[in-house]
Amino acid sequence: MRVGILTGGGDCPALNAVIRAAVKTSIGYGWEVVGVEEGFDGLVHCRTRPLSTASVSGILHLGGTILGTSNAGDPFKYPVEENGRKVERDISDRVVENFHKLEIDALIVIGGDGSLGIAQKFFEKGVPLVGVPKTIDNDIGGTVITFGFDTAVNTARDALDKLHTTAESHRRVLAVEVMGRHAGWIAVHSGIAGGADVILIPEIPYDIEKVCESILEREKKGKHFSIVVVAEGAFPKGGSLTHRAVKEAGSEQRLGGVAERVAAEVTRLTGKESRVVVLGHLQRGGPPTTFDRVLGTRFGSAAARLVRKGLFGRMVALMPPDVDSVPIRDAIGQMKRVPLDNDILESARDMGISFGD
């Protein structure tokens, strides 16, 4: 058996833990393992390298991915230059040909909703593969949690702990932008753990006047500063998402700037001095937490077991207390957003946190 492993989409803490576990488990079965470099782009250009136990030694604690990754190489919408401009073309047949040319018997795809969506299409084209859910946003269906989320939340919470002192010292409002394109899990968890006063998430369109009311109410109580955590996908009632740049062929639409928008409106409506902190890719980096290292290890080993059993087209998933699996098509068919009736939101509201509604 010759097994390929690739990591697609944005990088994420504990990717290396998954790779390490998948490699060591596969080699334990007597298989040969090859790493596909830079996501599906590696299959487009046949960029691979052998992976051994030595290759994955000492990577458990490292952030990022030793295989490299890309979120701009979807073979079904691949960017190519024609007549001086970039357009998207379907070159998936070429990838299937390369898969067989490389003599790979099965593929382990570690990625988020986008990468797993691509994986499902290749499975339907006859490529034997299994999936491993990866995203710091925790928005993939079928699994209770994804690896990388815990590390990202801890990074954001640590930043909020540090920002409290400067916000209080200068009596300012600090708008802290965290990741969360479609779901507000990072904002909610880090906001609660980091003592935020307002949390704005994609699931609850915000009313800026309600946000300001909450800030002014704190002012009346002698709290002359406020921390506002804003998910990048948050948007006002009746408004739209804030885009950082125009979408290019083959790439995902970039969001950003919503915290600047919120801070400017807060200053205009309250007179309070506001500042903006965008955590951005800090949330993706750094050593994974203990929880993510263990979960990543469980996922990597479970993916190899799925291959051994021939259970292709499935994704490993945490269903406490066990790691099980679900069809990839079911997982990508349901975006996991923060439920409005979840007790975590009720608890936050009980603590006086505003969601701008």
For residue 252, the model assigns a pLDDT of 61
Summarize the confidence of residues 1-18 as an average pLDDT: 95
* β-pair partners for 51: 33
Cα dihedral sign, 26-71-316-44: negative
For 150-285, the fitting CATH number among 3.40.50.460, 3.40.80.10, 3.30.565.10, 3.40.640.10 is 3.40.50.460
Q: 3-state SS of 15-45?
A: HHHHHHHHHHHHHHCCCEEEEECCCCHHHHC
Summarize the confidence of residues 94-98 as an average pLDDT: 96
Cα dihedral sign, 84-89-94-96: positive
DSSP string, 287-326: PPPHHHHHHHHHHHHHHHHHHHHT-TTEEEEEETTEEEEE
User: Where exactly are the structural domains of the chain?
Assistant: 2-147+288-332, 150-285
The CA-atom distances, in angstroms, between 183 and each of 24, 169, 354 are 34, 32, 17
Active site residues: 137
Summarize the confidence of residues 288-308 as an average pLDDT: 98
Give the ranges where 125-241 is alpha helix by DSSP (H): 149-170, 185-193, 208-220
pLDDT of 247 strictly over 80: no
106-111 and 129-133 beta bridge pairing = parallel
Give the ranges where 37-148 is alpha helix by DSSP (H): 41-44, 92-101, 113-124
Percent of the chain with pLDDT over 90: 85
Rounded Cα distance between 193 and 216, Å, is 22
The CA-atom distances, in angstroms, between 37 and each of 4, 34, 47, 67, 68 are 10, 9, 6, 5, 6
For residue 244, the model assigns a pLDDT of 62
Give the residue carrying structure tokens 């469980």. 298
- Confidence band of 203 (pLDDT split at 50, 70, 90): very high
pLDDT of 117 strictly over 60: yes
pLDDT higher at 255 or 88: 88
For residue 251, the model assigns a pLDDT of 55
Which amino acid is present at 185? W
pLDDT of 250 strictly over 60: no
pLDDT of 246 strictly over 80: no
Q: Per CATH, is 2-147+288-332 categorized as 3.30.70.3270?
A: no
Which amino acid is present at 85? R
Same fold, 2-147+288-332 and 150-285: yes
